[in-house]
């Protein structure tokens, strides 16, 4: 788990396109499975990934499928590089070792994190992880659930325990590998409310036919968060997933 101190200490995006102070109370949240920066045409470009992110001017970005110092992506610390390209703070949490490097999830933020935790999650095909980052007014998490339903249900239980323990709003975004109405998402809703629309297809990016990417907030604080806009960005090339964005106030 690594914290990269790139970016500003502001809480949103300024007129320059770099992270900077924002209007009070508004929060722009993105969740994006970037497939290590590899697009649908198989070309790899973190510059393109960063451009997709920057266009939406998010305050926090939950990233999945992120490499760190792997041979397949040229030895780059992808979270660090995306932090540099977007002007945001970057945190990486490894789920598995991959050759000489690591692979996992990450988070970009305009605000400097106060604390960072990594919680292992079950994954029969590969280990999974929950990255929890504390900010002044809330906690945010990035995750990528297993392909196996039993593992996903166990991961949901871990999320519910965290939601019960944390004393600030807890916002979770990620690739849940679960369809709307699935048993595991219904159990998750006992402790979380869906902020993203949960219907618009997110995968595969070029011809999407299912929704598996979501953004949630812990139920105890859900009434305080007022959704202004929720959308799936129609980006069909930069990854095999489309980014999910929620804008709200609290």
Instruction: Check pLDDT > 50 for residue 44.
Output: yes
Confidence of residue 25 (pLDDT cuts 50, 70, 90): confident
Give dist(CA 188, CA 68) in Å, integer: 30
Half-sphere exposure of 13 (CA within 13 A, CB side): 19
**Could you count the other beta carbons within 10 Å of the beta carbon of residue 226?**
11
In the predicted structure, residue 6 carries a pLDDT above the cut 50: no
Confidence (pLDDT) at 216:
99
What pLDDT, on the 0 to 100 scale, is given for residue 152? 99
Domains with residue ranges and CATH for the chain: 2-249 (3.60.10.10)
pTM, entire model: 0.92
Gap between the Cα atoms of 222 and 160, Å rounded: 14
Q: pLDDT digit string (tens) for 147-189?
A: 999 999 999 999 999 999 999 999 999 999 999 999 999 999 9
Return the structure tokens found at 238.
Answer: 């930069």
Rounded to whole angstroms, how far apart are CA atoms 248 and 136?
17
CB-based contacts of 203, cutoff 8 Å, min separation 6: 33, 209, 210, 211, 212, 213, 240, 241, 242
Q: What's the pLDDT at 13?
A: 40
Dist CA 247 CA 231 (whole Å) = 9
Sheet containing 139-144, strands listed edge to edge, beginning at the edge strand earlier in sequence: 115-121, 128-134, 139-144, 170-175, 213-218, 192-194
Residue with tokens 């499928």: 65
The two beta strands, 170-175 and 139-144, are parallel
Asked whether residue 16 carries a pLDDT value surpassing 50, the answer given is no
């Amino acid at each position: 788990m690594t914290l990269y101190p790139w970016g500003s200490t502001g809480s949103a995006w300024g007129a320059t396109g770099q992270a900077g102070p924002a209007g009070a109370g508004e929060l722009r949240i993105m969740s994006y499975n970037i497939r290590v920066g590899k697009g649908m045409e198989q070309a790899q470009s973190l510059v393109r990934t960063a451009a997709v992110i920057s266009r939406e001017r998010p305050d926090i970005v939950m990233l999945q499928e992120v490499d760190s110092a792997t041979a397949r992506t040229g030895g780059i610390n992808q979270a660090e590089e995306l932090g540099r390209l977007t002007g945001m703070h970057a945190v990486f949490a490894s789920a598995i070792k991959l050759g000489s490097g690591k692979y996992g999830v990450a988070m970009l933020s305009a605000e400097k994190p106060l604390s960072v935790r990594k919680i292992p999650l079950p994954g029969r095909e590969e280990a999974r992880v929950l990255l929890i980052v504390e900010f002044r007014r809330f906690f945010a998490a990035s995750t990528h659930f297993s392909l196996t339903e039993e593992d996903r249900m166990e991961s949901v239980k871990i999320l519910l325990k965290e939601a019960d323990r944390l004393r600030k709003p807890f916002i979770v975004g990620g690739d849940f590998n679960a369809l709307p109405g699935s048993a595991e998402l219904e159990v998750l809703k006992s402790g979380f409310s869906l902020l993203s629309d949960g219907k618009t297809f997110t995968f595969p990016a070029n011809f999407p036919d299912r929704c598996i990417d979501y953004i949630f907030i812990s139920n105890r604080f859900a009434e305080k968060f007022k959704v202004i806009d929720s959308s799936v960005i129609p980006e069909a090339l930069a990854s095999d997933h489309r980014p999910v964005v929620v804008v709200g106030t609290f």
